């Protein structure tokens, strides 16, 4: 466990005003600069936006440093030197490859897995393990939560989601295993409570110690129930009970980690957390971003995913004057009016990303910023919503990965370079190197000069 540079108490006190004031204002520089010297951990986040983008207003004209920000990316002006624009990456497994329509559902399930999802609206869901979960399984033990899954849309409650694909494919990007989507939290209040509900518990208190022991005994009890049941049931049923047991183990580990790391996570909290899910969509995204910053800052987790919206989302964006549904618009057939609306939606999303990046950068960690120790991968697994193509994807990578990435550039890769090669490079930096993920063919060159 890496020593934190400053106590959580200080950080959370700072957060108490973070919604009104920039977080950093209340952090004394001396605190930020003090502390032992172990290298801070590297964090990674993966952010998904649906329906592709208007690529001509996304891709910078020039490569290398000093590119001019296109219309959609303009909101990143303050953090341009912390962002890599990556062009030319491909998700081949998002293509039909014989499976027919359903590009939207595929675009979410392939985004972090690089795996061809099995076309099914019900039985036998199968995708692949996602990059965030590869990371979580390798480094998650160090933190209370192995990973955090965030979103703004709860998933569709009725009907097929996309041309014969189960909704599981379009409402999840994080997959713990090939048939186990992680689910996601959409209420910022719940995220906060999950992370800090026991914040006032005193580790020495008898009742707290006993409470933990009882909780553990309940977990033992229900795990035994599940195992007993498994001996009586057939394979499909057992898969469900495996998921159940995985959940039990995950919680057990979290309790153990909480015991180990309690000194770091105690402290009184002046920030009481968000009230709930705000009606305003932009505010919703930003609150979720706040939760992500908070999670990284307190080292509650080092891995997060965030779906700004689910695949094929047909949300309208009235606040920026777009009353048509996003999905409907994305089938623009080159019409100028629609392309204009799409790029405005794309820009709106990037504006929220800029909020996150600015906040991370304004949060000091050691003698650098939190953003310096992060890798934030942002984008869509569809390139153009009309053509539904999966090459030349719109992808950003923000942060410096603890000094292992040189951002501020636009880098173009050879055509058909697998997006999964980026994941390979990220996993190296996260400390979770692997031989392959999805359809990776190697590492991505050029992240560092």
Q: Which of 66, 68, 70 is nearest to 57 (CA)?
A: 70
Instruction: Give the ranges where 261-308 is alpha helix by DSSP (H).
Output: 262-265, 281-297
Work out how close the CB of 163 gets to other proteins at its nearest, in angstroms, rounded to a whole number.
Answer: 5
Residue 273 near residue 196, CB atoms below 8 Å: yes
Instruction: Give the ranges where 261-371 is alpha helix by DSSP (H).
Output: 262-265, 281-297, 326-330, 336-362
Q: What span, in angstroms and rounded, lies between the C-alpha atoms of 76 and 407?
A: 13
Work out how close the CB of 18 gets to other proteins at its nearest, in angstroms, rounded to a whole number.
Answer: 24
- Give whichever of 338 and 343 is closer to other proteins, judged by the CB atom: 338
Work out how close the CB of 15 gets to other proteins at its nearest, in angstroms, rounded to a whole number.
Answer: 22
- Give whichever of 36 and 122 is closer to other proteins, judged by the CB atom: 122
Work out how close the CB of 201 gets to other proteins at its nearest, in angstroms, rounded to a whole number.
Answer: 14
Query: How many C-beta neighbours within 10 Å does residue 242 have?
Result: 15
- Give whichever of 285 and 375 is closer to other proteins, judged by the CB atom: 285
- Give whichever of 13 and 239 is closer to other proteins, judged by the CB atom: 239
Q: How buried is residue 126: exposed, middle or buried, by Cβ count under 10 Å (0-12/13-18/19+)? A: middle
Residue 89's beta-bridge partner residues?
417
Residue 134 near residue 44, CB atoms below 8 Å: no
Work out how close the CB of 238 gets to other proteins at its nearest, in angstroms, rounded to a whole number.
Answer: 9
Strands 43-48 and 374-379: parallel
- Give whichever of 55 and 125 is closer to other proteins, judged by the CB atom: 125
Query: How many C-beta neighbours within 10 Å does residue 226 have?
Result: 18
Work out how close the CB of 212 gets to other proteins at its nearest, in angstroms, rounded to a whole number.
Answer: 10
- Give whichever of 195 and 398 is closer to other proteins, judged by the CB atom: 195
């Amino acid at each position: 466990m890496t020593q934190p540079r400053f106590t959580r108490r200080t950080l959370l006190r700072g957060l108490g005003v973070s919604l009104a004031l920039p977080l950093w204002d209340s952090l004394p520089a001396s605190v930020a600069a003090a502390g032992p010297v172990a290298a801070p951990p590297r964090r990674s986040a993966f952010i998904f936006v649906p329906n592709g983008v208007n690529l001509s207003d996304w891709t910078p004209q020039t490569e290398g440093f000093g590119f001019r920000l296109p219309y959609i990316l303009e909101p990143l002006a303050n953090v341009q030197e912390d962002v890599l624009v990556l062009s030319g990456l491909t998700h081949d497994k998002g293509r039909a490859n014989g499976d027919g329509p359903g590009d939207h559902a595929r675009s979410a399930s392939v985004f972090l897995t690089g795996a061809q999802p099995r076309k099914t609206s019900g039985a036998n869901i199968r995708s692949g393990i996602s990059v965030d979960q590869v990371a979580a399984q390798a480094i998650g033990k160090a933190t209370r939560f192995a990973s955090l899954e965030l979103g703004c849309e709860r998933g569709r409650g009725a009907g097929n989601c996309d041309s014969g694909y189960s909704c599981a494919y379009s409402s999840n990007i994080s997959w713990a295993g090939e048939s186990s989507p992680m689910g996601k939290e959409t209420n910022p209040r719940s995220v906060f409570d999950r992370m800090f509900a026991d914040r006032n518990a005193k580790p020495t208190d008898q009742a707290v110690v006993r409470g933990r022991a009882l909780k553990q005994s309940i977990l033992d009890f229900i795990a035994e129930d599940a195992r007993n049941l498994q001996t009586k049931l057939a394979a499909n049923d057992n898969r469900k009970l495996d998921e159940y047991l995985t959940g039990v183990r995950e919680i057990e580990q979290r309790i153990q980690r909480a015991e180990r790391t309690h000194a770091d996570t105690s402290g009184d909290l002046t920030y009481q957390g968000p009230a709930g899910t705000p009606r305003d969509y932009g505010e919703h995204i930003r609150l979720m971003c706040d939760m992500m910053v908070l999670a990284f800052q307190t080292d509650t987790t080092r891995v997060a995913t965030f779906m700004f919206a689910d695949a094929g989302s047909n949300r309208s964006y009235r606040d920026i004057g777009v009353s048509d549904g996003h999905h409907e618009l994305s089938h623009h057939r080159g019409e100028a009016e629609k392309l204009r609306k799409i790029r405005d939606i794309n820009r709106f999303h990037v504006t929220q990303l800029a909020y996150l990046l600015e906040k991370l950068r304004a949060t000091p960690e050691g003698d650098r910023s939190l953003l310096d120790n992060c890798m934030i991968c942002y984008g869509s697994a569809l390139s153009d919503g009309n053509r539904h193509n999966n090459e030349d994807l719109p992808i950003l990578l923000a942060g410096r990965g603890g000094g292992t990435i040189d951002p501020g550039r636009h880098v173009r890769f050879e055509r058909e370079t697998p997006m999964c090669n980026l994941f390979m490079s990220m996993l190296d930096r996260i400390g979770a190197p692997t031989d392959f993920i999805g359809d990776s063919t190697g590492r991505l060159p050029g992240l560092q000069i």
